[in-house]
């Protein structure tokens, strides 16, 4: 197969995986309206936890579940610090992120570790011979189911309460809903998705590293900015689908940067420039909702 086509297919697969992270960050920023940077440390922490469980048990499914719950836990910690310790939201997420880095290193004993062969998608799509085809078909199916389930969840009573918590916290209090509880639900859901994607990626790549999450939060914010430009809508299901579009464009830009000779370390600079440009672009469009930049200032 043509090397360029192979590169594009791998980019598509990577975009599908990271779009799950983008959806998680979208939930925290857009729905809960909580400027949460926990994913920067929680991504690698979840990968380490999932990897350790995979090594101990040999079960990729247990590894996936443990990584998902590790992500939920990091989100709950951030919500607790913001609500009970009364820390500013940004500071609460930064402290949790820092604890994730330290905790992952203490648990694993080293920054990264190789994983035995084991990938949940390979167990499901065992009849496909190519890992690339397993990745694309499997993650596409996971992403589609995820979008549908989230869309259905946000049509339920709990989903509406979570949206009210983001839109009008004072009204949420007047309705006698516990803000801490719903912050835990919202941030737990958001960071659980981040942890879920982290374990899928670590199982796919064959290693887990505490530094895997470096730049994840800023990349997700950049993808949300791109998705705002693609589909400036308030309809939730289209916004979730647009998260994939924004992530795909971002991954294509990063691929072009690599092909132009920009080293790996320079990709975060490219992403940061995209965020700066699209924060400005999205803030002047009439989308009916505040930009990511405005939400960080709140």
Whole-angstrom distance, CA of residue 174 vs CA of residue 156: 20
Name the range with the highest mean pLDDT among 36-45, 169-178, 242-251.
Answer: 36-45
Say what the pLDDT of residue 215 is. Answer: 87
CA distances, 243 to each of 2, 13, 97, 153, 289 (Å): 28, 14, 23, 18, 16
**Domain segments of the chain: what residues?**
3-212
**What average pLDDT score do residues 58-80 get?**
96
If one compares 230 and 210, the residue with the highest pLDDT of the two is 210
Say what the pLDDT of residue 279 is. Answer: 64
Pairing of the two strands 112-114 and 207-209: antiparallel
Q: H or E segment at 113? A: strand 112-114
Residues 191 and 74 sit within 8 Å (Cβ to Cβ): yes
Please list the residues that pair with 113 across neighbouring strands: 208
Closest CA to 16 of 154, 141, 193: 141
Give Dmax (Cα) for the chain: 61
Band (281; pLDDT cuts 50, 70, 90): low
Q: Pick the range with the lowest mean pLDDT from 74-83, 145-154, 212-221.
A: 212-221
Residues 101 and 214 sit within 8 Å (Cβ to Cβ): no
Whole-angstrom distance, CA of residue 55 vs CA of residue 202: 12
pLDDT at 78 exceeding the cut of 90: yes
Distant-in-sequence, close-in-space partners of 157: CB < 8 Å, separation ≥ 6: none
Band (278; pLDDT cuts 50, 70, 90): low
pLDDT at 237 exceeding the cut of 90: no
- What would the two tokens of residue 104 be? 């992952």
Tens digits of per-residue pLDDT, 150-193? 999 999 999 999 999 888 888 888 888 888 999 999 999 999 99
Residues 64 and 226 sit within 8 Å (Cβ to Cβ): no
Radius of gyration of the chain (CA): 18
Residues 260 and 206 sit within 8 Å (Cβ to Cβ): no
For the chain, the straight-line distance linking the first and the last C-alpha, in angstroms and rounded, comes to 50
Phi, psi of 209 (to 5 degrees): -135, 140
Whole-angstrom distance, CA of residue 50 vs CA of residue 61: 9
Whole-angstrom distance, CA of residue 51 vs CA of residue 287: 41
Say what the pLDDT of residue 284 is. Answer: 63
Phi, psi of 295 (to 5 degrees): -70, -35
């Amino acid at each position: 197969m043509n090397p360029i086509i192979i590169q594009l297919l791998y980019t598509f697969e990577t975009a599908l995986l990271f779009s799950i992270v983008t959806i998680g960050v979208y939930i925290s920023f857009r729905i809960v309206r909580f400027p949460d940077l926990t994913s920067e440390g929680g991504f690698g922490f979840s990968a380490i936890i999932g990897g350790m469980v995979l090594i101990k048990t040999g079960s990729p499914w247990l590894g996936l579940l443990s990584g998902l719950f590790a992500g939920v836990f990091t989100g709950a910690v951030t919500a607790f610090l913001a609500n009970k310790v009364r820390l500013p939201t940004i500071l609460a997420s930064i402290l949790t992120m820092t604890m994730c880095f330290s905790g992952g290193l203490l648990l694993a004993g080293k920054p990264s570790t190789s994983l035995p062969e084991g990938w949940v998608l390979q167990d499901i799509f065992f009849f496909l011979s190519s890992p690339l085809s397993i990745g694309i078909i499997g993650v596409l199916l996971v992403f589609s189911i995820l979008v549908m389930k989230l869309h259905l969840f946000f049509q339920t009573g709990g989903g509406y309460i979570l949206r009210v918590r983001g839109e009008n916290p004072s009204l949420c209090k007047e309705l006698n809903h516990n803000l801490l509880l719903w912050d835990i639900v919202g941030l737990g859901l958001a960071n659980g998705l981040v942890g879920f994607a982290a374990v899928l990626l670590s199982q796919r790549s064959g290693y887990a590293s505490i530094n895997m999450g470096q730049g994840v939060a800023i990349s997700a914010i950049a993808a949300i900015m791109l998705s705002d430009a693609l589909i400036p809508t308030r309809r939730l299901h289209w916004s979730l689908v647009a998260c994939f579009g924004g992530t795909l464009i971002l991954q294509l830009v990063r691929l072009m940067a690599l092909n132009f000779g920009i080293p790996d370390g320079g990709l975060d600079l490219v992403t940061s420039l995209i965020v700066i440009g699209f924060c400005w672009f999205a803030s002047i469009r009439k989308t009916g909702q505040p930009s990511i930049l405005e939400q960080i200032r709140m």
